[in-house]
Amino acid sequence: MSDADPPGVAGDQQQTGWARLASGQTVELARPIERLGARILDFSIVVIPSTAIWAIVQGRDAFVANDGETLTNLGGIMLAELGALLVGVLVNFVYEVAPTARWGQTLGKRIVGIKVLNASTGAAPGLSKSLGRWAVLTLPIAVPYVRYGGVVFFLLCVLTIGHEPCYRGWHDRAARTLVVTSRRDDRGSGRPRPAPPRYGRRR
């Protein structure tokens, strides 16, 4: 285990698709494509409707009539921005932070069959870790005037998942979490799961 690994995660610095926790439990890591699929589902469920509502509200409050002229309503725009930010934070907390803290899954993750774990214990992340990974990934996008930089940061977080031994993005590393598969063995499928690697002391 290297210094870059979260406490409790052991294994070689290569992508094996598995990780061992301090408890001795070996977990199968969620593949990057599975995580991308879950994120797209979550995005479709939450962000697209929220953005549409924000655009409607901002468009309605952006202009005011004044003696037959239409003037830009800067106060209305700023109020719409603040309202959209507060609503977005609340919606994301209810949809992502709370369920991830309790069960390790959003609806998108549940559909795909993956979940978030505390990297040390293998249990659900809890509120602090769930809030931390969400804040690192999402808040830069939500803050007005730095939103485009936040989008770039979000993409970098996602891209790092495919280049890290335990498939962790920056938000996973910051919160000390792992994303693993939650699919159970289906003996009738005819597709056995691969066996985990053997972890032991190096000689």
77 in a domain, yes or no?
yes
1 in a domain, yes or no?
no
- d(Cα 149, Cα 169) in Å, to the nearest integer? 17
- The per-residue pLDDT for range 61-120, each reduced to its tens digit, is 544 444 544 444 455 556 666 766 777 778 888 899 999 999 999 999 999 999 999 998
- The per-residue pLDDT for range 107-158, each reduced to its tens digit, is 999 999 999 999 989 999 999 999 999 999 888 877 766 777 888 898 888 8
Provide the token pair at 118: 């505390």
- d(Cα 106, Cα 39) in Å, to the nearest integer? 9
135 in a domain, yes or no?
yes
Q: Is 26 helix (H, G, I), strand (E, B) or coil?
A: strand
69 in a domain, yes or no?
yes
170 in a domain, yes or no?
yes
196 in a domain, yes or no?
no
Provide the token pair at 71: 């003037």
Pairing of strands 26-28, 69-72: unpaired
Query: Could you give the number of structural domains in the chain?
Result: 1
Provide the token pair at 34: 């599975």
12 in a domain, yes or no?
no
**Containing domain of residue 69, as a range?**
18-181
